[in-house]
Structure 1
């Protein structure tokens, strides 16, 4: 609990936790806090045993009194802004949002204002005291779709754990260059590009990354696919699809030069040339509710620009079939 904005708690060590390490015992007693946060409080002396500071490895015994009296860590100094949010679901722990393309998630150099975080701070001011203002995963600026924000420490700890253990399900729609003939899995490590620092790449020393994809619809020279992530590396789908020579339509970093299908009409040329972002949309999110344990799932429809792109590619494919016939 918290008193006068301080985080306080008091426990008497039960028999089942006697002779356990202090950091292990408090992780059981206060599961709403991450282990790293608890260890930080122990080392700082904010978490004591019988009124004395201890080390994380020190043992606790039956009837020891564990007390916490800590200042909340104000994680952000950004300004709340009245920016409209497309809220799919919310309760005291979770805020599920349908993010439009073009909206930056986190303030950074060049984007100190007008971000999703600024909007969330206005809607749910309590996230100011959470790490990264409750953001546990991100979408690129020009990727649209569903994402979750933690509104409590309980939720933040749970969501980070679900991401780490890969129990949070995330599925994306994408339109890629080239006609794929079937679904597959891309299992290739991703790290910083060796020469271009703004880009990621498949590199031997990178972190493990796995993307599963399946076909939704094949066009004359493009394919609508659905991707499921096992990991969450920066630009993962964009990097993996470019790696297998099927980059996302409109991708400014990994797409290369625009490629037109054979017999492209002026309308299709304009459609592809005018699609000014990577054709990627986070369509579905599945997770375990941090308080109830209930498995929840949400889905958001494709935005208008991707609907128009797919309809244009479909119309061209039909024209080609009629012409070839």
Structure 2
């Protein structure tokens, strides 16, 4: 330990000495006796005199238990520390009840088995099953620790395209805390911080307006579960096709059968993570990725655009 560590707690000084590891991982190693102070086991809160000898002998244990599965992945960037991929709609990110296999995590473990040593297999943020688009995955402990901190500081730029019900007038910001829905455990909802809600901020602007729908660009400051879906539904403009937060089909007056078929056939939330930008957590390189609009969302927007062109007076 450096002399300047005098008066500091053992776990605090360790976190500064080994920033590539999370505080919780280091604390676990200390409690297990894998980190010795002057050759002896010491509690995490042990106060230091400065100048002590530290011995770290620990192995990275498996953090996740899931079977590797060979699946096609659309990887946009990869090096020793991270990868960026474009997730297809319909792909579940983590195994769970009803989805024990066939998930993105299963595919990642086949692609890179060492991800089993990282929390949640290196997945530092998630997309809902039916949301398409870009995700970053950590491949090293150092990158994982740094990416989690960057997301917490809002240093990762995440941009989405959403197609919503209703003709919106202007862009703006939704600053409403989100927490577990009081009556439906599958849903999230707008809740006061005092009532268990967590800060959630979504910026949005209008890209295109149709007769009964709008295309929005949404940028996240925070990353709460279902954030965009909850915020837009709270405003009265749920995503087209959203099975949890939608309020049914909305047809423009006099819509033809072609548009009706497209709207009825769009059976997922119309949300696409189209842009992801951040500094590489290890090299500092500026990384910026864009994902093309999925074919089904492109067809949806084209149908709405055509309907609006056919009814210029509405």
Moved over 6 A (4+): none
Report what 1:232 is aligned to. Answer: 223
User: Counterparts in 2 of 1:1-325, with a 5 A limit?
Assistant: 13-204=1-192, 205=195, 206-321=197-312, 324=313
Q: Secondary structure at the match of 2:183?
A: coil
Task: Return the alpha-carbon distance in structure 2 between the equivalents of residues 107 and 149 of structure 1.
Answer: 16
Q: Which runs of 5+ in 2 are unaligned?
A: none
Per the TM alignment, residue 197 of structure 1 is displaced from its structure 2 partner at its CA by 1.3
Per the TM alignment, residue 18 of structure 1 is displaced from its structure 2 partner at its CA by 4.0
How many residue pairs get aligned? The number is 311
1:196-217 C-alpha deviation (Å, 9 max, x unpaired): 1111111222111111101111
Per the TM alignment, residue 286 of structure 1 is displaced from its structure 2 partner at its CA by 1.4
Task: Return the alpha-carbon distance in structure 1 between the equivalents of residues 276 and 168 of structure 2.
Answer: 25
Task: Return the alpha-carbon distance in structure 2 between the equivalents of residues 238 and 21 of structure 1.
Answer: 43
Per the TM alignment, residue 242 of structure 1 is displaced from its structure 2 partner at its CA by 0.4
Task: Return the alpha-carbon distance in structure 2 between the equivalents of residues 251 and 28 of structure 1.
Answer: 44
Per the TM alignment, residue 70 of structure 1 is displaced from its structure 2 partner at its CA by 2.1
CA RMSD in angstroms comes to 1.3
Task: Return the alpha-carbon distance in structure 1 between the equivalents of residues 280 and 42 of structure 2.
Answer: 34
Per the TM alignment, residue 266 of structure 1 is displaced from its structure 2 partner at its CA by 0.6
Task: Return the alpha-carbon distance in structure 1 between the equivalents of residues 245 and 105 of structure 2.
Answer: 27
Task: Return the alpha-carbon distance in structure 1 between the equivalents of residues 51 and 4 of structure 2.
Answer: 11
Q: TM-score when scaled to structure 1? A: 0.93
Task: Return the alpha-carbon distance in structure 1 between the equivalents of residues 24 and 185 of structure 2.
Answer: 30
1:157-208 C-alpha deviation (Å, 9 max, x unpaired): 0111111111111110000000111111011111111111111111222111
Per the TM alignment, residue 300 of structure 1 is displaced from its structure 2 partner at its CA by 0.7
Task: Return the alpha-carbon distance in structure 1 between the equivalents of residues 139 and 254 of structure 2.
Answer: 51
Task: Return the alpha-carbon distance in structure 1 between the equivalents of residues 126 and 15 of structure 2.
Answer: 27
Task: Return the alpha-carbon distance in structure 2 between the equivalents of residues 203 and 251 of structure 1.
Answer: 20
Q: Secondary structure at the match of 1:59?
A: coil
Task: Return the alpha-carbon distance in structure 2 between the equivalents of residues 28 and 192 of structure 1.
Answer: 35
Q: Which runs of 5+ in 1 are unaligned?
A: 1-12
Task: Return the alpha-carbon distance in structure 2 between the equivalents of residues 20 and 43 of structure 1.
Answer: 18
